[in-house]
Amino acid sequence: MNRVIKRSFIVILVVVLFAAGVFGYYFSLTLNGEGWMSYPANKHIYTNGVLTKAGAITDRNGVVLAKTENGTRVYNSKKSIRKATIHAVGDTKGFISTGMHSAYLNELCGYDAVNGVYNLSGKGNNLELTIDSSVSVAALNALGSYSGTVGIYNYKTGEIVCMVSTPTFDPNSNDTPSGKGVYVNRLLSGVYAPGSIFKLVTALSALENINTATTMHFKCNHGVTIAGEWLSCLGRHNNISLDSALKHSCNAFFAQTALELGRGDLTATAEKVGFNKSLKMDGIPCATSKYEVSDSNDIDFGWSGIGQHNDLVNPYQYLCFMGGIANGGESISPYLVKKITDANGRTIKKANRDSTKMMSEKNATLLASMMRNNVKLNYGDSRFKGLEVCGKTGTAEVGDKSTPHSWFVGFCKNEKTPYAFTVIVENAGAGNGAATRIAAAVLKTLK
């Protein structure tokens, strides 16, 4: 009898261990399956550690940006297209973590948690992107030898038509890519001092929190004294209003407006338009824009209101902010993947539409009209013929000896070209110079 009990016990133990093993394996597969699938030793999709078996990546017009041919991953035949789109498409070794080859690896290879890699023929899923390769090449050419980024998206639909980052490289070249941060997509992963483009946040906060915002005046005597320290302005603007101050980019006005608002209200507005948040583009995490003044003294807080002190801006966050102003306060989230189709051409995933209410329609309209005046008065409307561009430049100081970064942000009001844009050009001098010139060159290629 004892022997029977003992044997039964052993059988039960074996069954329990087997069940636990199956459960453990299943649990582990669910958790780690994607990681195992994309592990470079998996020869189904990788050859010698390089991604080879995945579907095609095309632009909005069907131009092939990358595809698998005879077991090899090949890019577009034109060097300019390869260089202009590599940060969006990604390299096959995974150095560009935000590129499609890394961020959408599972989708490209046709992986799902239930079936594993269900297509081993080398034909994964195809990604149709929203970018336009010819607009991207125009941005690459306009940036020239500068480091920087040009981001453009349709603020009514969310489609990103241009996402170019320099320095860049040709994935077909055997040379090791050179240039500082060559694998970084500056639109998604860069952060920069904003300079005067931050005045749009301070202006919006004034409209939201100060009843007399559109009629109030502050004094500017080539600057202003705050808490016994001097905050300089490039002009002597005397008694100046919000509308004029944005047109002339008056430091004294916006520093005093920041102090009038207080740290809490200005921070709240900044956070509503995307500061201090981890934004995502199509599920890909972006660098965070920072506005942090809780421990700042009055002069530093004054400087923060004009985009200096420790303010930091991620270009993608500003793209969303510009979209919010352009679209009556409602920012449609930009996206890059238009749709995913399987090897038989069936659509298996479409872009998710998402939006954020950033400001009231009234304040969006007020800001837009001030930005429109800005372009007419300062930047030369004829350079943006027919586009009805609304914009703001920024010149971001980056230490005493370096040439400042050049910013231009804004959007086209024309209904036929509903695009918002962010342009930053590193060490290129004043915003109304390199950045406006590059924006004009690229925007005129939009249809």
Nearest C-alpha neighbor of 439 from the set 355, 269, 315: 315
Angle 263-272/199-209 helices, nearest 10 degrees? 110
Instruction: Enter the tokens of residue 258.
Output: 């920041």
**Region binding Zn ion by CB under 5 A among candidate stretches 19-27, 245-253, 371-379, 414-422:** 245-253
Give the SS3 label for residue 392. Answer: strand
277: Cα within 13 Å, side-chain hemisphere = 18
Of 46 and 253, nearer to Zn ion (C-beta) is 253
* Phi and psi at residue 321, to the nearest 5°: -65, -45
From start to end of 309-442, where are the E strands? 330-332, 337-341, 347-350, 355-357, 389-396, 405-412, 419-425
**Region binding Zn ion by CB under 5 A among candidate stretches 188-196, 252-260, 372-380, 423-431:** 252-260
* Phi and psi at residue 161, to the nearest 5°: -100, -20
Report the distance separating Cα 190 and Cα 345, nearest Å. Answer: 36
* Size of site (CB under 5 A) for Zn ion: 6
Burial 113-125 (b: 16+ CB within 10 A, else e): eeeebebeebbbb
Instruction: Enter the tokens of residue 332.
Output: 């449609």
Does position 137 bind Zn ion by CB under 5 A?
A: no
Of 257 and 269, nearer to Zn ion (C-beta) is 257
Q: Nearest distance from residue 204's CB to Zn ion, in Å?
A: 19
Q: Nearest distance from residue 64's CB to Zn ion, in Å?
A: 52
Among 237, 247, 272, 437, which residue sits at the site for Zn ion (rule: CB under 5 A)? 237
**Region binding Zn ion by CB under 5 A among candidate stretches 147-155, 251-259, 357-365, 427-435:** 251-259
The amino acid at 309? H
Q: Nearest distance from residue 438's CB to Zn ion, in Å?
A: 27
Q: Nearest distance from residue 253's CB to Zn ion, in Å?
A: 6
Q: Nearest distance from residue 308's CB to Zn ion, in Å?
A: 14
Q: Nearest distance from residue 223's CB to Zn ion, in Å?
A: 7
Sign of CA dihedral 277, 283, 285, 286: negative
Element (H, E) at 198: none
Torsion, Cα of 143, 147, 149, 150 (10° steps): -10
Residue spans of alpha helices (H) in 38-158: 79-89, 100-103, 105-109, 133-143
Q: Nearest distance from residue 210's CB to Zn ion, in Å?
A: 19
Among 81, 86, 103, 252, which residue sits at the site for Zn ion (rule: CB under 5 A)? 252
Which residues, 193 to 232, sit near Zn ion by CB under 5 A?
Answer: 220
Displacement of CA 172 from its chain's centroid (Å): 26
Say how many C-beta atoms besides its own lie within 10 A of residue 46's C-beta: 18
**Region binding Zn ion by CB under 5 A among candidate stretches 118-126, 185-193, 248-256, 258-266:** 248-256
**Region binding Zn ion by CB under 5 A among candidate stretches 100-108, 160-168, 237-245, 344-352:** 237-245
Nearest C-alpha neighbor of 349 from the set 39, 55, 35: 55
Of 237 and 437, nearer to Zn ion (C-beta) is 237
Nearest C-alpha neighbor of 201 from the set 292, 103, 304: 304
Of 119 and 249, nearer to Zn ion (C-beta) is 249
Of 42 and 232, nearer to Zn ion (C-beta) is 232
Q: Nearest distance from residue 91's CB to Zn ion, in Å?
A: 47
- Partners of residue 312 on adjacent β-strands: 290
Of 84 and 233, nearer to Zn ion (C-beta) is 233
Does position 250 bind Zn ion by CB under 5 A?
A: yes
Which residues, 9 to 28, sit near Zn ion by CB under 5 A?
Answer: none
Q: Nearest distance from residue 217's CB to Zn ion, in Å?
A: 12
Of 235 and 429, nearer to Zn ion (C-beta) is 235
From start to end of 107-189, where are the E strands? 111-112, 116-117, 126-129, 148-154, 160-166
CB 246 within 8 A of CB 277: no
Which residues, 288 to 317, sit near Zn ion by CB under 5 A?
Answer: none
Q: Nearest distance from residue 237's CB to Zn ion, in Å?
A: 4
Does position 233 bind Zn ion by CB under 5 A?
A: yes
Of 146 and 198, nearer to Zn ion (C-beta) is 198
Does position 65 bind Zn ion by CB under 5 A?
A: no
Of 109 and 220, nearer to Zn ion (C-beta) is 220
Q: Nearest distance from residue 193's CB to Zn ion, in Å?
A: 20
Q: Which residues bind Zn ion (CB under 5 A)?
A: 220, 233, 235, 237, 250, 252
